[in-house]
Chains A and B, each alone.
Chain A
């Protein structure tokens, strides 16, 4: 698989916005002095009058987006996950979530794959924060194809959406003719019968790699890609849990409040089985290359493989 294309989902975000810009004249993009990093620069170049740099003031930026949406614009607010979901949490909650406004938050640099910048910039809490807001859709795409599809779906959906993108280039895994995207629908990317691996974002690629390794050991792993963490596709998870009886979750996010918690919420109420949550185990990250960090915290294919073996 040496020829697999790699692209960071933040690049996909910028490219999707640029592609959609011509089709949707009300689409506007906001940044807080990070357009070069959130990759919205391509939109800015194509539609300079519809790109609003708010300067380094994320809280105000959320309010500006709220106000713009009330005049018929469809704002995509861009920043790092740490600042979009973290610093501006209460603005997102009270100025966007509570009035249920048509604002899309494009949060890049989520999770530990931020890499060298270290723990201050590695947001492992954003899924937890955003999914706690009533009416907020939360999506975390796994690759370029899904990221672009999620941006379009968010644009076409009426209401607040949080989109989580990564900094590091990742493999394109959804390049298949029958690929379809729908908000709230999980995607069974590999059939199996012994264990279910539910993953989101770059965790999906790791889960697929782990499943291949497990197969060599005679273990058949089912892999489910959950892009929309809220609303969660409960059916696909329950159905798989009934079949395998064991579930492992994978995310580059804290195991508190993220995909793992959402899956546990679902299964404990509907079909209780043992669940192992892989992710950041209630610790902060640190500096290092994205690949080294993903490896250290056990979120690459090898790490997931080892954890699944131990779990079984």
Chain B
């Protein structure tokens, strides 16, 4: 899939994030938007998955360790065909299968998550399971940069590096902001790349919003043997929605009707620009 197609899908995914959090009157748009290009790349290009058969045995696995950005994951799954896009507006509502954080009842979700630091361990366990079972599927997990403050992340990193899980990719969304403020003012996890290197990871740094860089990084990860890979993505929180970009305020807040209209106009404009390109 070429970059223009990926960009169009990513813009749809962003619309799904804005639409679902607006409908829910709650949720986490900021970190969902910063990871929207990543979700798109994983589900539309990188991963061996089948929306018609979500439990396919040899599928690649994805664990959203930063489970609060479920709107981003759900939107990507919906646009990829795992469930109807219309269902996104049921997010967080009583009786909806689209729970506030991912659980096992959602088509395409491989692991329940939401309590930070836990998804990476489950993902590492899946990668080890593939090795033990001589299966060649790959396992991906996405962490927030604030999530790196959880000690369990480093227990899992030590385990994965020691076990040389080269079928395992840990992606860090480094948008620099957490609930209480900039990560380097709350309890800085920097230097992030050096930390993962110290835990015996191969580390690749990319611009989270550049599909050429994402493509090259995932190719390099696949070719890396004898070590797990960490893709450290430098991203912009709220990417794509003018008033959410770079704003900590939009970590866990939903747009009201007026804000929703502005956000959708921003994304419509991007869509028009992309359509003009072909």
B residues in contact with A90, CB < 8 Å: 115
CA distance A94 to B115 in the complex (A): 7
Confirm or deny: A197 has a beta carbon within 8 angstroms of a beta carbon on chain B: no
| Size bracket of the A interface | 20 to 34
Given the interface pairs A49-B132, A57-B155, A57-B159, the reply to whether A70 lies near B126 with Cβ below 8 Å is: yes
CA distance A52 to B132 in the complex (A): 11
A residues in contact with B135, CB < 8 Å: 71
Residue among B114, B124, B132, B135 with max Cβ neighbours from chain A (10 Å): B132
B residues in contact with A61, CB < 8 Å: 121
Confirm or deny: B221 has a beta carbon within 8 angstroms of a beta carbon on chain A: no
B residues in contact with A188, CB < 8 Å: none
- B122 interface neighbour in A50, A70, A100, Cβ under 8 Å: A70
A residues in contact with B125, CB < 8 Å: 63-71
Confirm or deny: B192 has a beta carbon within 8 angstroms of a beta carbon on chain A: no
Given the interface pairs A70-B110, A70-B126, the reply to whether A95 lies near B121 with Cβ below 8 Å is: yes
A residues in contact with B169, CB < 8 Å: none
Q: A60 to B121, Cβ gap below 8 A?
A: yes
Confirm or deny: A98 has a beta carbon within 8 angstroms of a beta carbon on chain B: yes
Confirm or deny: A218 has a beta carbon within 8 angstroms of a beta carbon on chain B: no
- B118 interface neighbour in A50, A71, A94, A100, Cβ under 8 Å: A94
- B112 interface neighbour in A54, A71, A98, Cβ under 8 Å: A98
- A71 interface neighbour in B119, B121, B133, Cβ under 8 Å: B133
Confirm or deny: A62 has a beta carbon within 8 angstroms of a beta carbon on chain B: yes
Given the interface pairs A60-B152, A94-B115, A99-B112, the reply to whether A67 lies near B159 with Cβ below 8 Å is: no
Q: B112 to A95, Cβ gap below 8 A?
A: yes
A residues in contact with B115, CB < 8 Å: 90, 94-95
Total A-B pairs, Cβ < 8 A: 106
Interface of chain A, main secondary structure = helix
Q: B111 to A70, Cβ gap below 8 A?
A: yes
B residues in contact with A62, CB < 8 Å: 121
B residues in contact with A50, CB < 8 Å: 132
CA distance A55 to B154 in the complex (A): 12
Given the interface pairs A67-B124, A67-B126, the reply to whether A100 lies near B104 with Cβ below 8 Å is: yes
Confirm or deny: B13 has a beta carbon within 8 angstroms of a beta carbon on chain A: no
Confirm or deny: B267 has a beta carbon within 8 angstroms of a beta carbon on chain A: no
B residues in contact with A57, CB < 8 Å: 152, 155, 158-159
Q: Please encode chain A, from 69 to 83, with 1 for each CB lying within 8 Å of some chain B CB and 0 for all others.
A: 111110000000000
Q: Please encode chain B, from 122 to 163, with 1 for each CB lying within 8 Å of some chain A CB and 0 for all others.
A: 111111111011010001000000000001100110110010
A residues in contact with B61, CB < 8 Å: 70
- The smallest C-beta distance from A77 to any residue of chain B, in angstroms, reads 11
Confirm or deny: B120 has a beta carbon within 8 angstroms of a beta carbon on chain A: yes
CA distance A57 to B158 in the complex (A): 10
- The smallest C-beta distance from A105 to any residue of chain B, in angstroms, reads 14
Confirm or deny: B103 has a beta carbon within 8 angstroms of a beta carbon on chain A: yes
CA distance A69 to B162 in the complex (A): 21
CA distance A127 to B114 in the complex (A): 25
Residue among A62, A63, A100 with max Cβ neighbours from chain B (10 Å): A63
- Chain B, residue nearest A32 (CB): B155
Q: A95 to B118, Cβ gap below 8 A?
A: yes
CA distance A72 to B111 in the complex (A): 14
CA distance A193 to B139 in the complex (A): 60
CA distance A73 to B110 in the complex (A): 15
CA distance A91 to B115 in the complex (A): 9
Residue among B112, B125, B128 with max Cβ neighbours from chain A (10 Å): B125
Q: A63 to B122, Cβ gap below 8 A?
A: yes
- A73 interface neighbour in B114, B124, B129, B159, Cβ under 8 Å: B129
- The smallest C-beta distance from B72 to any residue of chain A, in angstroms, reads 20
Q: A59 to B152, Cβ gap below 8 A?
A: yes
CA distance A120 to B61 in the complex (A): 39
CA distance A206 to B181 in the complex (A): 58
Q: A71 to B159, Cβ gap below 8 A?
A: no
- Chain B, residue nearest A100 (CB): B104
CA distance A100 to B103 in the complex (A): 10
Confirm or deny: A223 has a beta carbon within 8 angstroms of a beta carbon on chain B: no
B residues in contact with A150, CB < 8 Å: none
Q: Please encode chain B, from 196 to 207, with 1 for each CB lying within 8 Å of some chain A CB and 0 for all others.
A: 000000000000
- Chain B, residue nearest A64 (CB): B125
A residues in contact with B124, CB < 8 Å: 60, 63-64, 67
| 24 pairs of residues in contact across A and B, judged by CB atoms under 8 Å | A49-B132, A52-B128, A59-B117, A59-B118, A59-B121, A59-B155, A60-B156, A62-B121, A66-B111, A66-B125, A67-B63, A67-B128, A68-B128, A70-B110, A70-B111, A70-B129, A71-B125, A72-B133, A73-B132, A91-B118, A91-B121, A91-B152, A94-B112, A95-B111
Shortest Cβ-Cβ A-B pairs, 3 listed: A67-B125, A63-B121, A71-B129
Q: Which B residues form the contact surface with A (CB < 8 A)?
A: 61, 63, 103-104, 110-112, 114-115, 117-130, 132-133, 135, 139, 151-152, 155-156, 158-159, 162
**Given A59-B151, A67-B124, 15 more contacts at CB 8 Å?**
A57-B158, A59-B155, A63-B152, A64-B121, A64-B125, A66-B125, A67-B63, A67-B125, A67-B129, A68-B125, A68-B132, A95-B112, A95-B122, A99-B104, A99-B112
